Amino acid sequence: MDIKQIQKIYDFSGKTVVITGGNGVLGGDIAVALAGLGANVAIADLNTDVTGDLQKRMHNLAGDVSIFKCNVLERESLEQTRDAILEKYGSLDILINAAGGNKPQATTSPDLSFFDLPKDALDFVLSLNLQGTILPSQIFGKILAEKDNGIILNVSSMNAFRPLTRIPAYSAAKAAVSNFTQWLAVHLAQEYSANIRVNAIAPGFFLTNQNRFLLTDEKTGELTARGQSIIDHTPMGKFGDPEDLIGAVLWLLSPASSFVSGIVVPIDGGFSAFSGV
């Protein structure tokens, strides 16, 4: 790669990116960064009500940001979103699977033992994280396969390497997302094209809507014992900021990682490297 190509590595002009869950804390930050670098970004989210910081930041960027109502668990909804994106932008280059999360009813607590976790809550979390990654990869991934080119980036988690206490379904589902990332990377490269790459990021701990109830006290805002334990086990001694993900995401979506496929990159302040002693 000559120096001129290297200088343009993070220029996403002319690329179209779909981000499921792009109206969330982490997906939203990624959406703004990519549009800032020239990409047309289609946010595909169940919630199309963009508020607060994201609303302010998604305007006047080099690329366009638009939002489509989409349920990653419904094929028809994904197909409609795909058609709308193709009509608006003409093509698709990158899929980011960022829809996902846990819920309190699938989380053990002094009031809810593992033995009593309701099946519908477990199903919800398993499905949202795993099927919610597989189904969009089928619908949007087919476009990449047809043009022999493209990138898929999944969002796994620290739970995938070693399960965290209290959240069995979320841990199992994210382990499955990491496994599926490897499977799809191999499948698409062997059956379709070496120009299609599939990787994942595994964020450590970021304070967002899905985990705030576990990490901070609702009334005081103080760290819970679990929140403190996480900080104590993170060598950098802090939660991540969404912007901490951006460098690794850009690398995995750019030609800088052109020979990288099937990996899961931890972005965790050293959490996964620390034995606790």
Q: Which residues are tagged catalytic?
A: 170
Q: Report if residue 161 touches ligand NAD, rule: CB under 6 A.
A: no
**Contact predicate 220/174, CB 8 Å:** no
Beta carbons within 10 angstroms of residue 131's beta carbon: 15
CA distance 174 to 172: 6
Q: Which residue is nearest to ligand NAD (CB)?
A: 24
Considering the complex, state which of residue 124 and residue 192 has its C-beta at the smaller distance from ligand NAD: 124
Binding mask 87-116 for ligand NAD (x = CB under 6 A): -----------xxxx---------------
CA distance 157 to 33: 21
Binding mask 187-226 for ligand NAD (x = CB under 6 A): ----------------x-xx-xxxx---------------
| Minimum gap (Å) between residue 148 Cβ and ligand NAD | 28
Residues 6+ apart with CB under 8 A from 211: 102, 205
Q: Report if residue 51 touches ligand NAD, rule: CB under 6 A.
A: no
Residues 6+ apart with CB under 8 A from 140: 18, 78, 82, 92, 95, 152
Kindly list the residues in this chain that would bind ligand NAD in the complex (CB under 6 A).
Answer: 20-21, 23-27, 45-47, 70-73, 98-101, 128, 132, 155, 157, 203, 205-206, 208-211
